[in-house]
Every structure is written in C-alpha cells, then in structure tokens.
Amino acid sequence: MTSQSAIGGRAAHIVIVLPDFSSGGSERIAIRLASAWAQRGRRVTILCGTEKGPARALVPPGIVVLSLCPEIGGGLLYRIRLGRAFANLVAMIGPDLVFAPGNFHIPVLAWMKMVLPHDGPPLACKLSNPLRKPGLDCVSQAMFSTIIRLASRRIDALVAMSGALQQEARTILDRDDIACIAEPNLPDGDFRDPMPMDGGGAPLIVCAGRLERQKRFELALRAVAALPRSRRARLLILGEGSRRAALEREAERLGISDRVEFAGYVADIQPHLARAQLLLCTSRYEGYPAVLVEAIAAGLKVVTTDCSPAIAEIMFDRSFGCITGTDTGTIAQTIEALLDAPGPDPTARERLSAQHQLGRSAEAYLALFDRVVAERRVHWARS
C-alpha cells in the first residue's frame, strides 16, 4: 500500500518496530525520537511483538502502539516470525517508512522486505552495536560479516552513531551510503555547570546498564573493593537483568555489600548522576555508550574500558576522564586519581553536549527519511 505522503516525497507516517519494551538504551532512544518526530508534525506508530517491559510507560500520548496478536515474545525462529508478522501489519496500515533502532532488527527487516510487496515502504535501521564482534575468530567474523552484509542489502537506509562506527559499517557492509547521526542522549536547551559537590562526603560511583555479561559489572565490583577503605566510596548500579543475584553474591563475597546499591531499572538517570562524582563503564563491548555522554554532560568524570570504536570520539578531551584496561588494580588506581581531579572542562563539555541534543538528531533523521522516501517516489515514477 502506498500512502499519499509517500507519493509527495515526505515521511509523514513513520513506523518504528520493537520486539518489546525492555529497558535497553535502543528502546529508550527510539521512544525519545518518536516523541520528537510527533512534535514536528509526523505521525508515528510503534509496532511491537509484545507490550511487556518497563519502557512501555515512557511512550507519550499521541504515539499509537500496535502489538502483534498473538504476541511474539521469543522462541524458535524469533526474528523470522517477527519480520513476517510486522510485514503483514505494515502492509495493512501503509506507512511511508519503517525504522528499526538496532542491529537486532537487521534480519527482522530483511524478512519484512521478502514478505512485503514490491511497493512496500522503504526500510531504515540504526546500527546500535559494532559489526566487528569481540571474541570471534577470523573465520567466525568473516561468516558473520557475510550474513549481515547480505541481510543489510534489503535495507534502504542505515545509520551509524559516530564517524568510527560509520567507517566500520562501510567496510563490513560494503556500502558507501551509511549515514552518521549522533545519538540523541540529551534534551534540548542550555547546559549549565553542575552544582559543586560536598567534598567531605563519601564519593558515589555510578554504573548503568542491563545486568548481563556484556556489561561485566563483576569488574566494577572488584575495582571498588580494591579502593582504599579510607575513601568510603560507594557504588550505585542502575539497571536490571539476569545476573543481579550473582552480582549481589559477588558484592557480599568481596565484603562491600554495605557500600553497593542495586537500584534496579530507573526511567530517568539524571537525578542519580546529579549526586555522583564518577561514572564507571566496564563493558566488554558497546555500540555507542550513550551513558558516558550523559555523565559528562552532567559534570561527572568517566572511567571506561575501550569497549567501542566510538570511545575516542566521546572521550576527546582529557578532562572527561580515562580509558583504561581491564586490570582491577589499574581501574581502582584510575578511579582514585580521578576522584581528586577537577570535573570536565566546561567548553569541551558544552561541545559534546551540543552534538547530542534531541532536536538536532531528530531533524537529521527526518531529513534522511524524507530523502529516502523521495528517492523511492522517483523510482516508482520511472518503473
């Protein structure tokens, strides 16, 4: 089905596909963009496999949510089933463009393209994680690259979140048309300097993310345990996941249970960043670790592993903190040194913050979507 707006060359109706409303960053960013697009006069519909998940409460009024019936929440051939079911819904409602917010969706969109008629809407996807997988041997990486390259050929527009990720995607996917749009981690507006913290209190270190092996929070616990007791440093872990019980046991084994708080899923990280001095990221890998940007914008120093090709682009100023290895002692020494260091340079902090404001990214996406829809119109006119 072809909408009148597509004929006019504008993405007036955008569909976002989500498997569910889990607490991941991709879901939150997608909802944030949906709201910004709606405020700019676009109609936005979210198609989901199931409405379960804490991020469902973040969807603002005016954004239509349609879940599959029956719901698809996992199981055998999960992504194939999602792709086929989403394709049927898309064919019924006839949007101008379909957007997916992460790498998980590449095979989903590929299957949608196979099921949709030839005049189906263009498909766009954000690349939320690096395409080079840590831990894969050369043969496995080559096989993965070939599969993802073939699947991505069915997608009309791909978006990387940084220049480094864009270059990686161009190489692996053998495409020169990868767009680069910054993650909209921050609200629009001016960024004031953070309120000075009371230097006499116990310093608070924050970790944030899903409690899964990727985030390697055991390393964070061991690093905090290695800090001098005289520091009285506390660790706040924001997020939920399957490894919570194991992490709580590890904190108890290390003798730091009284200094570690597991706060679970939080809808807004800002109040927690406002009372912290440092953010610690111990991930094995990340696409674009958005929480680092949020922390620096809030005036925190950052200690992070080299978990993403984009790390150097985020940590472009020495005042932001340090990129470290995975040795517990080294991480602890780096934390201790930074706790006594001044915060991020205001000029560099403002420069980073400006790149990641919601309005700027939302408009860049809309310009890309409108161009893709217009190109599809030209193709239809010629065929």
Residue 193 within a domain: no
For residues 277 and 375, state if they share a domain: no
Query: What is the pLDDT, as a whole number, of residue 376?
Result: 85
Query: What is the pLDDT, as a whole number, of residue 383?
Result: 56
Residue 198 within a domain: no
Query: What is the pLDDT, as a whole number, of residue 1?
Result: 45
Residues β-bridged to residue 18: 48
Strands 123-126 and 97-100: parallel
Exposure string of 91-120, with b = 16+ CB inside 10 Å and e = fewer, is eeebbbbbbbbbbbbbbbbbbbbeebeeeb
Residue 190 within a domain: no
Residues β-bridged to residue 357: 186
Q: Which positions ≥6 away from 163 have C-beta within 8 Å?
A: 180, 313
| Three-class DSSP labels, 161-178 | CCHHHHHHHHHHHCCCCC
For residues 114 and 222, state if they share a domain: no
Strands 157-160 and 321-324: unpaired
For residues 255 and 298, state if they share a domain: yes
- Each of the 383 residues of the chain gets a pLDDT tens digit; together they read 445 454 457 999 999 999 999 877 889 999 999 999 999 999 999 999 999 998 999 999 989 999 999 999 888 899 999 999 999 999 999 999 999 999 999 999 999 999 987 778 999 999 988 888 777 889 998 999 999 999 999 999 999 999 999 999 999 999 999 999 999 989 887 565 665 555 457 899 999 999 999 999 999 999 999 999 898 999 999 999 999 999 999 999 999 999 999 999 898 899 999 999 999 999 998 888 989 999 999 999 999 999 998 999 999 999 999 999 999 999 999 999 999 899 999 999 999 999 999 999 999 999 999 999 999 877 665 55
Q: Count of residues for the chain?
A: 383
How far apart, in whole angstroms, are the C-alpha atoms of residue 25 and residue 9?
31
How far apart, in whole angstroms, are the C-alpha atoms of residue 294 and residue 358?
12
**What's the CATH code of the domain at 265?**
3.40.50.2000
Whole-number CA gyration radius for the chain: 22
For residues 109 and 238, state if they share a domain: no
Residue 129 within a domain: yes
For residues 21 and 54, state if they share a domain: yes
Residue 232 within a domain: yes
- The first and second tokens of residue 83, run together, are 């792709």
Q: Which amino acid is at 298?
A: A
For residues 269 and 280, state if they share a domain: yes
| Domain count across the chain | 2
Residue 168 within a domain: yes
For residues 67 and 159, state if they share a domain: yes
For residues 162 and 85, state if they share a domain: yes
Residue 196 within a domain: no
Domain residue limits at 162: 4-184+357-382
For residues 33 and 140, state if they share a domain: yes
Query: Is the separation of the CB atoms in 239 and 210 below 8 Å?
Result: yes
Residues β-bridged to residue 279: 206, 302
For residues 127 and 232, state if they share a domain: no
How far apart, in whole angstroms, are the C-alpha atoms of residue 76 and residue 60?
32
Q: What are the start-end ranges of the H helices in the chain?
A: 4-7, 25-39, 78-93, 106-115, 138-152, 163-173, 217-225, 244-253, 270-273, 290-297, 311-314, 328-339, 346-355, 358-382
Residues β-bridged to residue 324: 305
For residues 10 and 88, state if they share a domain: yes
Q: Which positions ≥6 away from 253 have C-beta within 8 Å?
A: none
Identify the CA nearest to 277 among candidates 196, 380, 183: 196
For residues 238 and 254, state if they share a domain: yes
Is the bond leading into 342 cis (omega within 30 degrees of zero)?
Answer: no
Query: What is the pLDDT, as a whole number, of residue 4?
Result: 45
How far apart, in whole angstroms, are the C-alpha atoms of residue 296 and residue 348?
10
What is the Cα 11 distance to its own chain's centre? 23
Q: Which amino acid is at 14?
A: I
How far apart, in whole angstroms, are the C-alpha atoms of residue 45 and residue 121?
14
